[in-house]
Structure 1
Amino acid sequence: MATTPTPAPGPLRRTLRRAPGHLLRTVLALVFVFPIVFMLISSFKPDQQIFADLGSIKAFLPVGQLSLDNYTAVFDRVPAGRFLLNSIVISAVTVVLGIVVNSLAAFALSRMRWPGRRLLLVLIIATLIVPFETFALPLVWWVNKLPWLELHGFQLAFTEGWLDTYRVQILPFVANAFSIFLFHQYFQSIPKELDEAARMDGASWFGIYRRIVMPLSGPAVATVAILTFLPMWNSYLWPLMVVQDENLRPVMVGIQYFFQLNVSWGQIMAYSTMITVPVLALFLAFQRSFINSIASSGVKG
């Protein structure tokens, strides 16, 4: 006896089935977005109103005495523009150098055959379990002893110590174990027959890296760029230890200025909004590309 096929669920039934998942995601989104909304709204309010609105829904609504006084006061209290420029330069340069250095290291580990490469990869990955705080102080001592070639007038001279410079905030973080591992895993997914064909045509290893491997590694490059930019933008402990010159400090160090003498929470919220919203807007604008790049790297790795 023939059986009647079960009809496909209708749109209403599918919507009801997905409702709990949508509700859970909505609740989680609200939990994460509430602090950002509170920060943004409070940045336009005076301190008295911020504390008065804490016990009600008004804390998340643009009501009351709203003005840009906190933002103008931020620039009067700290060189916020300089801090933002420093963080942009430090983060951008670290991302560019990190992509080049880490991809070259991963290329040598994944595409070239030489004894000890697997052991070296294991040692590189093992460094991920060491927290930065454990070697921060020894690293400060080392960077204070490292030489640097500088131009004085028309003569080149070696100087000792990297403290109070841009390079001390950039160079120690260019090589990254996780970035090398991510590039290595992605490079492994690219057929090695392409290397052999290119070698037969007379291409060098660097030519294979530049013309074949890297053009095929867009998702890995995007992922490494994201994962390098965010820690550098949020860097606080290291600049606090090695930079005393106010003209070289990044944005996160500037937060401590607002906790000296008279604490103004409205100004703190305004400064936090200035350093958070641009990065958040950048992520929201390119979230599809970011998610696809991370997913592609994970799947192909």
Structure 2
Amino acid sequence: MKIAVYTYRSTESMRVRQAILDGIQGTPLEYDEDHPDIVITIGGDGTLLSAFHRYQHLLDQVRFVGIHTGHLGFYTDWRNYEVQELLKSLQNDSGQSVAYPLLDMEATMSDGRVKHIVALNESTLRNIVKTMVCDVYVNDQLFERFRGDGLCISTPTGSTAYNKSAGGAIMDPNIIGFQLAEMASLNNRVFRTLGSPVIFGTDAKLTFRLRDDSSAVLTCDREQMMLGQDDWHLQEITYRVAKEKIHFAKYRHNNFFMRVKNSFIGETY
């Protein structure tokens, strides 16, 4: 089996990285950054997010394993003191995995250029200086004209991140779909939106068309694009469930709702 190690640049993360590299010596495990079977991330959820985009072209071939060296993360199952246990699991690997759905984003510019990204967590469209006015289409039919700060579209696993802060629901990752949450929408006797999160299924297509893209910002996970500048004008953005999925090596992959409980609720009495 070939492994790659993707590391956050902290002293502790680098120490864990070296422990892994030392630990695979004399084992069937081989280090290969370009064509790995397993990608081990060391750091936190942000590190795994970066590794996901680094190996996005190999999603049908690789599985991920996360080691956290800080606070408990949603994507990181192992602690920094469990390197030897992880290496034993890797040597006894039988290909077991758990898969989660991803979000496909395609932004078409006014000059015909297309920006295509697959997101692990979410994509947002917002305006940083004024009210954003955006026509929202569901399966090519106009659903609402949104006015407010912005819109957040998240995957089921990403529903616990920015989406939750925006008032979105937490989605079970066994649901193959994605979610739309409004950010500070204007709702009065003149302007109306649904005003609540919407969860879309496998075959849904969500399209945004801005009335004015000046000062608009489009994000997809950690990538950010400033719109309305020079010839970088947005025609429309389309979201779907991605064909690809992310796969985690299921040695002891923690239950999603136990992660939610540990992160947001803690001990119950």
Q: Same fold (TM over 0.5)?
A: no
Q: Counting strand residues as a fraction of each chain, which structure ranks higher? A: 2
Q: Counting helix residues as a fraction of each chain, which structure ranks higher? A: 1
TM-score tier after normalising by the smaller chain length = under 0.3
- Give me the TM-score of the superposition, normalised by structure 1: 0.17
